[in-house]
Structure 1
Amino acid sequence: MKIVLAEDNEILRKSLSFFLASKGFTVDQFSDGKEALNAIEANSYDLILTDINMPGISGMEITQYVRQSIGSDIPIIIFTSSGVEQTELDSFDIGANEFIAKPVSPAVLLVRINKLLNKRA
């Protein structure tokens, strides 16, 4: 299973990538939303993990682009440090499948990833 991980916090990105790789996933990491979006357009992925606030292009913009411009139903999980309820509601409105508040628990993330991937299978 191939995952895009778009997260500008280097420590979080590397630790989540290491954790997911240890669980058998292939993870392409990006610290910039535009680079992540370019990879999504050029490659086939099973899941997108994105921070909401990214340099270049935000996680919301990535989600909107994947849903509207590409027309893909690939599962998308959005991370944010914002505790604002409206942000979560907006994420679902534009097509995110899951929303996880930071700090991200790797164990909880894995459960949500497996749930989404099992739905698609």
Structure 2
Amino acid sequence: MALQKKNVRSILIIDDDPDDYELVSEAIQEINPSIGVTYVNSCEQLLQHRHQTFDLILLDINMPYHDGFFLLKSIREHGYRDLPIIMYTNSLSPAHITKAYKEGANLFFSKPESFSALLNGLRKLVDLDWASPFSVTQQYCKNGHYKAFQAD
């Protein structure tokens, strides 16, 4: 029996840059205004939302105090194994991409240069079938080779 496609209804953005949050939030609202977007900029704020459920997390790598890898590992260790987490960062470093997947990210999405590319990328991300996050991940991880999700 095949799983029914899981629609994204809520997104948590973890990023220390409020400008990046504003851009992503604006793009999500343009894609689908019914998707709820929550923003936190620190580990402490994340703890305040620990009882909420989200369909998708966009997690920045470069943040003060606790970077995205620390938060990714922490989220996974606290039992959220099936929660889709996308590393959303300025980096396209092969080392960052590999580390993200090995530590439990479902996708690695580099922040696009333009709003239209961001819009296209987020539209594709939201449209993926998140009923099985690991099947999504397998499309980007083959034979020990990892690649970033492409916005175009």
TM class by shorter-chain length?
Answer: 0.7 to 0.9
Q: Please give the per-residue CA displacement for 1:95-117, whole angstroms capped at 9, x wherever unaligned.
A: 10110112362211221232142
- Dislocated runs of 4+, deviation >6 Å: none
**After the TM superposition, which of the residue ranges 101-110 and 26-35 deviates more from structure 2?**
101-110
* Mapped pair 1:66 → 2:79: no
1:71–1:10 Cα change, 3 Å: closer
**RMSD, aligned α-carbons:** 2.0
Q: Please give the per-residue CA displacement for 1:24-44, whole angstroms capped at 9, x wherever unaligned.
A: 2100012224312441x2211
Instruction: State the number of aligned residues.
Output: 119
Q: Please give the per-residue CA displacement for 1:13-60, whole angstroms capped at 9, x wherever unaligned.
A: 111112213312100012224312441x22111111111112343221
Q: Equivalent residue for 1:10?
A: 18
Q: Give the secondary structure class of the aligned counterpart of 1:62.
A: helix
Structure 2: segments with no counterpart, 5+ residues? 1-8, 134-152
Q: Give the secondary structure class of the aligned counterpart of 1:86.
A: helix
| TM-score, with length taken from structure 2 | 0.69
Identity %: 24
Structure 1: segments with no counterpart, 5+ residues? none
Asked if the contact 1:34/1:57 (under 8 Å) is kept, the reply is: no
Q: In structure 2, give the amino acid aligned to 1:96.
A: A
Q: Please give the per-residue CA displacement for 1:39-89, whole angstroms capped at 9, x wherever unaligned.
A: 1x2211111111111234322122111212224310001112223101110
Asked if the contact 1:31/1:55 (under 8 Å) is kept, the reply is: no
* Mapped pair 1:117 → 2:139: no
Say which one has the larger Rg.
2
Q: Equivalent residue for 2:140?
A: none
| TM-score, with length taken from structure 1 | 0.84
Asked if the contact 1:4/1:29 (under 8 Å) is kept, the reply is: yes
- Greater helix fraction, Structure 1 or Structure 2: 1
